[in-house]
Structure 1
Amino acid sequence: MSLSLPSLFEKVGKITFSKRWFVFFGFLILILVSMYGMTTITMYSGMDTYIQKDSKMYQDLDLYTRSFSNESVVIMIEGADVTDPAVLGASMRFTDMMTNVSGVDSVTSAAGIVEIMNERVTGRAEIPTTQEEVDALIELAPSVFSSLIYDDTHTLILVTYGNLTDTQKADILAATKDAVNFAGFPPKYNIIVTGNAALMGDMNVEMSSSMGILLFLAVVLMLVALVFVFKGVRWRLYPLAIVVMGILFTFGFMGFAGINMTMVSIAAFPILIGLGIDYAIQFHNRIEEELRECETRREAVISTFKYMGPAVITALVVTCVSFISLLTSSIPMIQDFGKLLIIGCVCCYTAALFFGVLSVYFLDKLSEKLEIKKQTTGKPYKIQSFLLPKGSKKQQCVIDGAGNVLPASGVRVETEAPENIITATLNKTVTFTLKHKKIIFMVALITGALGFYADSTIPAETDTNKYIPQDMPALVDFYHMNTVMGGSDAINIMIVTEDIASPYVLKWMDEFGTYETQNQIYVLGADSIVNVVKEYNGGTIPDTEEEIRAIYDQLPAGTMEQYSRGNSMLLLNLQMGDAFSALPMESVKSFVALIREDITWHVLPPGTTATITGQSVPFTELMDSLLSGRVQQTMLGLLLVFFALLVIYRDFVKAFAPLITITLVIGWSGMIMYAFNIVYTPMTAVMGCMILGAGSEYSILLMERFYEEKGKGLSPIEAMRKTVKNTGIALVVSGITTTFGFLALTASAFGIISSFGIVTVINMLMTLLASFVIFPPLMLTFDGIKEKGLKGTILEFKEKIEHTLQNRKNSGATQ
């Protein structure tokens, strides 16, 4: 570590102490500002949380959505006979109500088409009164009704709207539910309001409530951890208040910066509580140590800034650098997740360093004043049970010319953390690991390598509906609709041409659709304007443009809008049932590639292009980038952390040693996911970066304290033992508390978050274990190499081998 950094923090500490009331009240004002900022945060679950807006995939999907697939609320009617005039009449009353709702573009239903057909046949724009008349109208053009009437017992109504805000969409959804209640559908008919719009609406509500529950649970679990683990320290629950302040600052920044809340960013806040408590505990533990050594609080504050500030900020930089790799993800919500983690870590560090340290200073000062008043008046104060200092009277300290904190006698008196079960266990662990380091290294390397191999076999979950709570009413209704309709997966092909009435284009669509249906096992049928045109022309496509346009003129406007836009765009849907959700990602990706190849081989008419898009197709690319990108992100994170440490320390050993421990834990993470049958999602795909960010701090803080103790003249082994005894307790407390915070994630109703929580909890425990089992002997080994130099180490190793061989030779000769 450069000498200038502790000096810088010492100066910051002096300024902070001199302006302590200004800093203290400044933070209180920031709390109020942040509370306002957090009220502007919005929940978002749209497609652009998965796909970059500037990508061709998104632009194709956006064009498809704007042209053919405006968002819609789906109303499914099921009962004895959905073509009953009474049902159709209720459907028209519903249509009339929804047409007048602000933001609604159109309402498409079988009843509306029946009314249009009846007007053309009889001149009356109304629903016929008899079932025979309705059946006759439907028989005139069955393909027009086929996309809305699945069978005699099920039909759909679509309420479509354009690009609206989440609030406007929620208003339309609420209006839809009200209109269903007031439309007067006959008894014994089940009316279900479903579709993606209802699903997203319910999911936004679920995200809001889920985040509150997770934050509350994380705080409660951390309280439990601090009560049972952080013993022997005054105000042991106070670090949690500091980290809550840091989270509040993060919320405020998020609101002012316009960062939306997604299902992934929900998980960032319990994670930040876990990471932030680490910073708060480290500063809290260090100022308590300084207050034990000297009575002068000013020097205790400055010393905490000088010795702990650089160590923790190094860990903070490494953590943030590892999260920077998340910003390279092709998935926007992963980028937002990375931004929140970086912003949150900085906010929590700032709150812990300035407000946290000053708070302990004020509490310590107040406790002394109360004790003096008690001695003067003889009257105890109830608050003293919380504030009363523990231990013997501390020594009066000063700061010498070199910036060292010394007692008045001129010799710094070192104190150690009180002995307890944690420090005793850590001492025994370090003794054991130093004695058996070769075996430990071998086992760690083998298991780490096996973990990386197991990781390469883990699949990805392609059905995004499985990310959300499976008992959510809107999802249950959505699954029910898909079960009834046989699944709604489709490959949508946009065909851009010079003339949508060209017989050559329609014949190409007919031939391609027939070929795919006959030759691709997963294609159940082809749906396009071609089906309607053939029905109106006796089963064939007309040979002239004029004949085709004459048929177009007879079709309802809703039918034309369903399959065409203007005079230049047509839509061909390859129906696939539920194939996308049932097939593995690799199979879906291969299938889409095969369709692209078929389009290439079936030469399009001149001036015509075909683009594969739709709601389902982009997720194949999403999951592919997820699986390939996660490895790149982890490798990038490792490189960034290494170079960051190299810049900070200007020492190869200090930069490289912490990475070995973390790399092993990343390998072990693959074994855990494989063993628990946990698949990759946008959340678990960032696990490597999470381990880097959350786990590297332990190794760095141990290394910082090791070199601090070694600089006082202790031998490497003695320095490591003292490091573990003095720093180990804080690391164990922060590690267990962090783990308890992450444990809250496992209780999430969102499967994408709960599975991530399970892996994170186990990984944090493994990181903590590796920090005290792998890192101490590794650090001593690297330090020995550094002291002797590479050449000296090789010569020593050579001498040991020669000595061993000579002993074996002598032993054989004796025998």
Structure 2
Amino acid sequence: MSTPPGPSESRDPTPGGRSGAFWTSAARLAGQRGGIVAVIALVLTVGLGFGISQLKFSTDQSNYLNSNSQVAKDNHAYQSLFGGESMITDFTVDPGKNLTDLFTPNNLKAFAAVTKELEADKRIVAVVTPVTALQFTHNLVSSPDGNPINSPAAKMLLSAQQRDTDPTSQATRLQDAIKTLGRVNAIPPAQQTIGSPAWDNFLLYDNSGKVREALVPFFPNRTNAQMVVRLEGNASIKDEGAAASLVQEAMAKQHFENAHVVTTGASVLLKDINDYLRGGFLTLGAIALALMVGLLLVAFAVRWRLLPLGVVVVGLIWAFGLAGYLGIHLNVVTIAGLPVLLGVGIDFAVQLHSRVEEEAQLDRADNPVAATLRNLMPALLLATVAAVVAFLALEFNATPMIRDFGVLLAIGLPVIVLATVLLTSATLAWREDKRPTQPKDYTRGPLGRATVTLGSLPRVAALPLVVIAIAVFVGGAFVEGGQKIQTDPQKWVNQNSQVIKDLDYLGDHAGTTSELGVYIQADNLFDDKTAAFVNTVARDQIAKHPDVLTNASSLVTTVGYLLDVPGAKMVPPTGDDVRAAYAVAPAAIRSSTVNLSSPGGTAGAMNLIFQTGPSSLVQRAVVVKDIRATVQPPAGVRATPSGLAVVGTSLLDNIGHNRALLTYYALIGVFLVLLLRYLSLAKALLSVVPVLIAVGLTSLIARGSGLELSPLTAVSGPLVIALCTEFTTLIVQRHLEERALGLAPRAAVDEAAARTGRAFLVSAAAAVVGILVLAFSPLPLLRDFGLIVALNVAVALLSALVVLPPLLVWADERGWVYRPQGGAGDAAAGRSASPADTPTGSSVA
């Protein structure tokens, strides 16, 4: 380790050249014109800060799907036809009660009141209560003349019996019809109204005592009933959230006897996330600030140690203000940009601040800020460009919110670096002019010694480290595809929230949590081929995917299940059957199931709704892909899966289809940047060896620990690469600087480590802490991202400090790293190389 030079000596290896002159002039100007710099900073802060008010929070499908994708177009069309998401109210009957006890006079009034209130709001498309469902069945089995034989249901059953070609099956149907007629005749006509227990019992249960199959979507079992409220389609997250709250408030006003009532739905989940984004964004920022204050006060032993935090906060205002002007939305992914950029920004600011202290304390430079800018700025700029290139690799992902995250980081980091350089330089130049920092040798402190120790592996370890790096990278790539990804959307959000408790309750009691819609378009919705097709699709998919799909609901299935008789052959409904059912269907059921192109016409679209039980996106994706691959509509008919389940599975496909490639794109981009800057294959390769270890090891750690990755965590590779490359760039550049001063390779590595130890370890801790802040989020999607990526970044930075020094020594001794131009000074005596013998700043780099 060299002795600090005296006041008249210079350790600056790059005093000449246009680059050096520029930074010297910039530093002097910053010090002399501190007031002007302050005014400029204030104007920028106010102007860009206003852009923060333009930031919008978004959780709608535009974050998950590209607007020009077919799935997005199909979902938009589906919601235009039949409305948006549904709110589900579950009625669990009290112990000792049964479903017929839901239809008391008080409850009938409550159902009527809530229906009237909700239907009066334009944000509500349809309200289907248990009473509505029973009313539909009542209309099917009733006739104007009071004779049940003339009811629509009786005519449909008679037609089915005539079309049944199996004599045994025909006989079974006849016996069932006689039994049904007997049940009807046993109830006096005056009591054949909803609210009469005997009639309710007949409407609810078939002749075997089971809940009628057509009513299962609304009465999934003998103790639960469901009310479905369809919200306005293609609404903004704000309007949809308001509509969801309206439904919950309307239900809370009513008292329902004999039942426990829970109202929830996917819209409540999205509203919950959106509400969290608005408050959580600031909460995470506050936690990050508090942790950074503690870190800087405890570990960063310099004058004005909180200055890096102050300048980075200003940089964050600039960055997010610019994001607001550019229309970048804050969503469940981009919200992570605040603590990440704070951590990375502190990382850069600490490096700059520490170097000024080094120039003042160890080298006693006449102008520490000028010397810092001359020596450090080439490395900081290269690290910034490499990081931006790594972030932009996220643009190759098909998910809009992931791409927005990449853009936010790629824009935010340079803006923060600009603020850091401008404000730190001006502030410290003013300070050094007024109260210069006194000389001090801090290189033997704990952080400096720790950094030297980390990089102390002998040069003979170089080749084994290269082999290990390649092996770890290949091993990580091999296990990458087998990592577990949590694909249940309910597991991405706060598990202690009321909406999750309600959705879990709904899944436990009714067996359903979401929907998968298929809309059928036809020139004639009421012909035999359309009816037969819808009937077949519904039954086949339920049979093929009973673990995901719990039931099917449509106008066709209502008729189809009505025609089913235990022990008899299945006979599909006819177009006339469907038309007759449509004629007597309540208005809410009509609007939910059929959309005719013109009043009185037959062309249009029909809705087939599958209710899904608790399941992951992977499981739902299997169903969606199977429908697309195997369902073959007849001529003139088109079937399109859509709805929230399809949007979710498409999101999973978008995130996963090139997940590993994003890491490779970032790695290749960073390598090309380094190669173009150094014009040296050896230096570029040396800089990426620790990156290879970091990338591979993080995958191996995740796989070995059995951790489940969230969709966000699965695309964190470019972030790890960006931070690791920053460290390797700074280490390589500092090594070249020390070599230009005449130090031998090993001595140069040790000197660099001793001098920069506190900066590297504090900045590394800042980067890790910045990301780790996300672990404080109640959303597992963000919390897991924070925990796993913080671990990955720590591994990446540690690999840079441990692996790169012996590689540099080994390669440098072979003349592959530093090539002196002329004589070298006597570093041991504290002398610098003369300007004539020292490469320019550009050559050293």
Determine the structure 2 residue equivalent to 1:740. 769
The 1:681–1:786 alpha-carbon spacing in structure 2 relative to 1, beyond 3 Å, is farther
Partner in structure 1 of residue 487 of structure 2: 462
- Counterparts in 2 of 1:504 and 1:713: CA distance versus 1, 3 Å: same
Equivalent of 1:560 in 579, 590, 605: 590
Cα separation, partners in 2 of 1:295 and 1:730, compared to 1, 3 Å: closer
Q: Distance in 2 between matches of 1:478 and 1:25?
A: 54
Residue 364 (structure 2) pairs with residue 267 (structure 1): no
Match of 1:572 in 2: 608
Whether 1:472 and 2:497 are equivalent positions in the alignment is yes
Partner of 1:494: 519
Amino acid at match of 1:552: Y
Query: What TM-score does the superposition give when structure 1 sets the normalisation length?
Result: 0.82
The aligned counterpart of 2:268 is 198
In the alignment, which residue of structure 1 is the partner of 2:459? 434
Q: Tell me the residue number matched to 1:180.
A: 251
2:811 alignment partner in structure 1: 782
CA distance in 2, matches of 1:773, 1:78: 61
The alpha carbon displacement at 1:59 in A equals: 1.7
One of 768, 790, 793 as aligned partner of 1:761: 790
From the superposition, tell whether residues 418 and 724 of structure 1 become closer, same or farther in structure 2 (CA, over 3 Å). closer
Picking from 530, 535, 547, the partner of 2:556 is 530
CA contact (8 A) 1:115 1:127 kept: no
Equivalence for 1:309 = 377
What corresponds to 1:506 in structure 2? Answer: 531
Query: 2-side partners of 1:295 and 1:785: how far apart?
Result: 33
* AA partner of residue 474 (structure 1): V
- The answer on 1:660 being equivalent to 2:689 is yes
Over 3 Å counting, the alpha-carbon distance change for 1:5 and 1:100 in structure 2 is farther
Which of these residues, 525, 549, 561, is aligned with residue 579 of structure 2?
549
Identity of aligned residues (%): 23
Contact 1:6 1:310 in 2 (8 A): no
1:718 alignment partner AA: A
2:34 counterpart residue number: 20
1:44 is aligned to 58
Which structure 2 residues correspond to residues 108-507 of structure 1 after superposition, within 5 A? 108-112=128-132, 130-132=196-198, 134-135=200-201, 145-159=215-229, 160-186=231-257, 189-231=259-301, 233-292=302-361, 299-366=367-434, 368=435, 391-392=438-439, 417-434=442-459, 436-488=461-513, 491-507=516-532
Deviation at 1:476, TM superposition (A): 1.0
In structure 2, how many angstroms separate the alpha carbons of the residues matched to 1:327 and 1:170? 30
TM-score (norm 2): 0.80
CA deviations on 1:8-37 (whole Å, 9 max, x unpaired) are 544544554554322212212333334433
Distance in structure 1 (CA, Å) of the matches to 2:736 and 2:70: 52
* Deviating more after overlay: 245-254 vs 129-138: 129-138
Counterpart-to-counterpart distance in 2, 1:265 and 1:789 = 41
Contact 2:296 2:305 in 1 (8 A): yes
Partner SS, residue 156 of structure 1: strand
RMSD across aligned C-alpha pairs, in angstroms?
Answer: 3.3
Q: Which residue identity does 1:423 align to in structure 2? A: G
Amino acid aligned to 1:165: S
Distance 1:122 1:182 in 2: 37
Does the aligned pair in 1 maintain the 2:391–2:719 contact within 8 Å? yes
What's the CA shift for 1:689? 0.5
**What does residue 57 of structure 1 align with?**
71
Instruction: Tell me the distance in 2 between the aligned counterparts of 1:561 and 1:269.
Output: 44
> 1:65: how far off?
2.9
Distance across 2 between alignment mates of 1:528 and 1:461: 32
* Structure 1: gaps spanning 5 or more residues: 369-388, 393-414, 791-815
Q: CA deviation at 1:725?
A: 1.9
Q: 1:774 to 1:296 in 2, by over 3 A?
A: closer
- For residues 692-731 of structure 1, what are the structure 2 equivalents within 5 Å? 692-731=721-760
Q: Which has the higher contact order (CA 8 A, sep 6+)?
A: 2
Per the TM alignment, residue 293 of structure 1 is displaced from its structure 2 partner at its CA by: 6.6
Contact in 1 for aligned 2:88/2:226 (Cα 8 Å): yes
Q: Distance in 1 between matches of 2:199 and 2:720?
A: 68
**Structure 2 alignment gaps of length 5 or more:** 1-13, 95-100, 146-189, 597-602, 820-845
The answer on 1:107 being equivalent to 2:139 is no
- Judging changes above 3 Å, is the alpha-carbon distance between structure 1 residues 499 and 541 closer, same or farther for their aligned structure 2 residues? farther
Q: Aligned in 2, Cα 1:118/1:477: closer, same or farther, shift over 3 Å?
A: same
SS in structure 2 at match of 1:185? coil
| Other structure's SS at 2:220 match | strand
1:483 counterpart SS class: helix
Distance verdict in 2 for CA 1:599–1:7, change over 3 Å: farther
Q: Give the CA deviation at 1:196.
A: 0.9
- Judge conservation of contact 1:72–1:161 (CA < 8 Å) in 2: no
- How many Å separate the matches in 1 of 2:809 and 2:365? 36
1:753-787 alpha-carbon deviations (Å, 9 max, x no partner): 22222222222222222122111122233334554
Residue 631 (str. 1) matches residue 660 (str. 2): yes
Where 1:501 maps in the other structure, the secondary structure is coil
Structure 1: distance between partners of 2:524 and 2:217: 25
How far has the Cα of 1:524 moved from its partner? 5.1
Q: CA deviation at 1:712?
A: 2.6
**Structure 2: distance between partners of 1:788 and 1:555:** 81
SS, match of residue 518 in structure 2: strand
Bigger mean CA offset, 686-695 vs 641-650:
641-650
